[in-house]
Structure 1
Amino acid sequence: MDFDFTDDQQALREAVRRWVDKGFAFERRHTLAKAGGHSRAVWGELAELGLAGLAVPESQGGLGFGPVEAMLVNEELGRGLVHAPWTNAALAVPALLAAAPEALQGEWLPRIADGSALVVLAQQERAARWALDRPATRAERRGDGWVITGTKIVVPAGDEADAFVVPARIAGADGERAGIGLFVVEAGATAITPYPTQDGARAADLRFDAAPAALIAEDGLERLEHAVDIALAGIAAEGVGLMDRLLAMTVEYLNTRRQFGVPIASFQALRHRVADAKMQLELARSMSYYATLKLGAPAAERRRAVAQARVQLGQAMRFVGQQCIQMHGGIGVTDEYAGSHYFKRLTVLELAFGDTLHHLGEVSARMEDTAGVFV
């Protein structure tokens, strides 16, 4: 199998890397974080590069690219610690809107592609523990439309978004796969409580009180699972970019910092720790590729592959982040040093769309007769 990237894919990677190097140095990220983490301006710049419409069909004004291109972009955005909810808004949301009626697609997808609208997925609830089939949010018909009542939490850039894609139960009981609808709810119909997150970004809790909603699909759980898997593969790629850059920064520091008249990179114990971190990084990279390539597989195969990748990524992000910070010593945890911000972002990613323990449970539930061997 040929794992080489095409010339067009390499050109896309280089274009994103050039923008990151030129337009998103750490000083800008640090300034944004200290100012509260607002990212709408960054979203606009990504849209100017065409990245907001990367996964939007060409018929709706986007680029119509696939999972591999998205993976490359996510790696570069991770490497640059770019401050925007790109995976959620540019990958997961277009996948969900693909199931919407043509009129609703025409209303939102072109605006997502040109950056004039920011639409994010709001699926997490306090009691659901990342289970997608247990939304407490309810939707009901009212007249010719729908209204939604309930609460969603930790919604990325929730106070900057123009609208939200919201899963809500239409019929049935918790845990039933049928009866979960997908809706678009505009921000003006929502009570929003914003707050900064640990990694310097922003999130918000949303409260819907009979909020008017536009129906995407009445039976949308499979589509939601697919979109979340797309987001998880994107998180894996972003994590690889974050770890790659943090490890490079650590090696540079070890080669610069001197003790007893020699660079500390010459100490065997530290060299072994760098080797261990590099091994975890490459394991994570291979599993990121695996998850990306499985996004087009049948649902059961795709969900198992993504969960397996997410377990490996969770373990790697924690290990690489902790090792790199420890090898830096005290400077590694200072707010003025970029390494601490990479570590914070890795820590937050480890909890996104389910923590490592949650996905280990997903892997276990899908092992069937494999006796614990990943196949």
Structure 2
Amino acid sequence: MFIEYSEEQTMLRDSAEKYLRDNYTFERRQAVVNSEQGFSKEAWQTFADLGWLAMTFREESGGFGGGALETLLLCEQFGKYLVVEPYLESIVLVGGLIEAGAHPSVREEYLGRLLSGELQGAPAYLESANVADPLRVETTAQPFGGGFLINGSKTVVVNGPEADLFLVSARTGGTTANSRQGISLFLLERETPGLSWKNYKTYDGRSACELQLHNVKVDAESVVGRIGDAYKFSAPIMSRAIVAVCAEAVGAMDALLSATVEYSKQRKQFGQPISRFQVLRHRMADMYMEVELTRSLLLATAWKLDSGAPDAQQCLIALKAKVGKAGRFVAHNAIQLHGGIGTTDELSVGHYFKRLAAIGVMFGSRDSYLARYFQS
């Protein structure tokens, strides 16, 4: 399959690469990660001013009508430069779900402010009972006074410490805790009574929180999508989110490969660069093949999603499984070829390793996607 980018898509990729190369150095990234806030307001506002936050939204929503390919192009560059700003959480997930199914008054109030960088959002859908399974929802939302009363807790709410809005999953029906039926989504402002949280840093440099909901009262307009059918309703947005993290993984793997090849030319053993040793050259060739195979599958998946191909979901499942395997392979070999220095905070290699490990389990593990692939 040959996929040729349009002129606009090429400009998007090149402008993102140029801006991040010139302004998002590893040293600046580390300063942001080690700050109390955990992301750069200046960088986030620049992303909004450049139109990146609105790129994949419909024109009537204030966007530019992009799709999965545009998401891919942006997130691959984000992965290459280890961007920590919450594009996936605030824009792809929260923004995408608000556009797709929020009440018109809610969409009008919040969506434009998200795309302008004024507000940020955080999806709260994981629970401690099983952090790898978004269907395991024990948080409840009971009918109450024309609205709902929500009780429960959420874990690993990435971007939670900075979020102005939380998109919370809760069970309004269903007979078991992991039933696809009976899950609903609710949009909550940060200052909603009954919300409490505990902030922390994740091991890949993000900010997250544990979210507690105690008798949180919401009205019916807070529901995003259809009551009890959040799994089916959110599927297209989740598909784009998976493309986003897989594209980020490809960018990270590409950067790791480049760093490893460059290091092998500088480090010397037995009086010559280690890049001259055939066994290490074979190792780096294998890394290159994993990166390119994953990139090809990523492009095919994004194209299939945008064109509505019947096998798009099967391709998406295969992509997530492939990213789990390829990311692990490339990251482990990069660490081994760098030696002990590859694990230090001062070098970017270890930080790519951590991010790829986190991406490998996001939205489910590689094993769970392999099982889904063979069932499809």
Whichever residue aligns with residue 159 of structure 1, its letter is P
Give the count of matched residue pairs. 366
**Equivalent residue number for residue 105 of structure 2:** 103
For residues 1-375 of structure 1, the aligned pairs below 5 Å read 2-36=2-36, 38-39=38-39, 41=41, 42-97=43-98, 98-174=100-176, 175-189=178-192, 190-213=195-218, 214-217=222-225, 218=227, 219-296=229-306, 301-366=311-376
8 Å CA contact 1:236–1:313 kept in 2: the answer is yes
Whichever residue aligns with residue 196 of structure 2, its letter is A
8 Å CA contact 2:246–2:323 kept in 1: the answer is yes
Deviation at 1:300, TM superposition (A): 8.0
Deviation at 1:259, TM superposition (A): 2.1
Q: For residues 288-334 of structure 1, what are the alpha-carbon distances to aligned partners after superposition, in whole Å with 9 as ceiling and x for unaligned?
A: 11322233577984433211111101000000000011101121111
8 Å CA contact 1:118–1:161 kept in 2: the answer is yes
For 1:337 and 1:90, how far apart are their aligned partners in 2? Answer: 29
Whichever residue aligns with residue 118 of structure 1, its letter is Q
Q: For residues 72-128 of structure 1, what are the alpha-carbon distances to aligned partners after superposition, in whole Å with 9 as ceiling and x for unaligned?
A: 000011111111121222112233111122111111110111011111221111224
8 Å CA contact 2:132–2:362 kept in 1: the answer is no
For 2:371 and 2:166, how far apart are their aligned partners in 1? Answer: 29
Deviation at 1:163, TM superposition (A): 0.7
8 Å CA contact 1:56–1:113 kept in 2: the answer is no
Matched position secondary structure for 2:152? strand
Q: Structure 1 residues 161, 342: closer, same or farther in 2, change over 3 A? A: same
% same residue: 34
What runs of 5+ residues in structure 2 fail to find an aligned partner? none
Matched position secondary structure for 1:294? helix
Q: Structure 1 residues 242, 159: closer, same or farther in 2, change over 3 A? A: same
For 2:213 and 2:164, how far apart are their aligned partners in 1? Answer: 15
Q: For residues 152-204 of structure 1, what are the alpha-carbon distances to aligned partners after superposition, in whole Å with 9 as ceiling and x for unaligned?
A: 11111111000111121111222433322111011122211111111111111
Please, what TM-score do these two structures have when normalized by structure 2? Answer: 0.92
Q: Structure 1 residues 3, 296: closer, same or farther in 2, change over 3 A? A: closer
8 Å CA contact 1:55–1:94 kept in 2: the answer is no
Matched position secondary structure for 1:153? strand
Whichever residue aligns with residue 280 of structure 1, its letter is E
Pick which of 142-151 and 296-305 moved more: 296-305
Q: Structure 1 residues 291, 2: closer, same or farther in 2, change over 3 A? A: closer
Whichever residue aligns with residue 50 of structure 1, its letter is G
Q: For residues 211-241 of structure 1, what are the alpha-carbon distances to aligned partners after superposition, in whole Å with 9 as ceiling and x for unaligned?
A: 2331112122212232222111111100000
For 1:229 and 1:59, how far apart are their aligned partners in 2? Answer: 22
For 1:222 and 1:294, how far apart are their aligned partners in 2? Answer: 19
**Equivalent residue number for residue 370 of structure 1:** none
For 2:48 and 2:149, how far apart are their aligned partners in 1? Answer: 31
Deviation at 1:275, TM superposition (A): 0.5
For 1:184 and 1:15, how far apart are their aligned partners in 2? Answer: 33
CA RMSD between the two structures: 1.9
